[in-house]
Amino acid sequence: MNRQVLVGVVLLFVASVAAAAPKAEIQEYGYYEFITEAKRSMQPTATSGFVQTGEARLVKQTQRIPIEQGRLFGFRFIITGMNPNIGQLPVELVVTHPKMDKPDGTSSTGYRYTLGLGLNQGVVEDQTGYRMNEKYEMVEGEWVFEYLFMNRPLMVQRFTTYKP
């Protein structure tokens, strides 16, 4: 393959990757309440060891979250710009939070895990957050939720929890 053809192939590859680069937008953030029964599933890498899913509605848009047992906070987002033929967008969720001293004697300042977000015609509409169920989870300080795509930041949302 001659040099000119090789350069053309490389440029074509770079252009196709750039055209498929996702763009994320946070649509709302704050604290929520579940409007359907929350389903609890094991997620060993999460600080509590579980995640909860269900339909939730925004109670108040804010980055300052008053601590209360059962408080659910997070954000809704949309990701566009992906190839509609791809079924899932592989991302890594990285959450950092104030130090939590867990009942088993360990402590945590965050967690991370990889997940595939389902695409519908090249678009993801989803939400993420955290629900403070246990006493040890109700700590004051800064929380950072970050989604990474191909090890690069896709979106970041910050919260500060405080005792009212």
DSSP letters for 133-158: -SGGG---EEEEEEEEETTEEEEEEE
pLDDT of residue 3: 46
By DSSP bridging, strand 71-80 and strand 50-53 are unpaired
Segments in the chain below pLDDT 50: 3, 5-19
DSSP 8: H
Segment holding 75, helix H or strand E: strand 71-80
> Rounded to whole angstroms, how far apart are CA atoms 25 and 79?
6
pLDDT of residue 52: 72
pLDDT of residue 4: 52
> Rounded to whole angstroms, how far apart are CA atoms 40 and 128?
14
Q: What domains appear along the chain, each with residue ranges and CATH number?
A: 21-162 (2.60.40.2390)
Q: In whole angstroms, how far apart are CA 61 and each of 17, 37, 74, 111, 163?
A: 35, 22, 10, 24, 18
Segment holding 44, helix H or strand E: none
Check: CB of residue 117 under 8 Å from CB of residue 127: no
Q: 3-state class of 100 per DSSP?
A: strand
Check: CB of residue 116 under 8 Å from CB of residue 75: no
pLDDT in tens, 1-45: 554 544 443 333 344 444 468 999 999 999 999 888 777 777 777
DSSP 55: -
pLDDT of residue 15: 40
pLDDT of residue 112: 94
pLDDT of residue 39: 73
pLDDT of residue 42: 73
- Whole-model pTM: value is 0.81
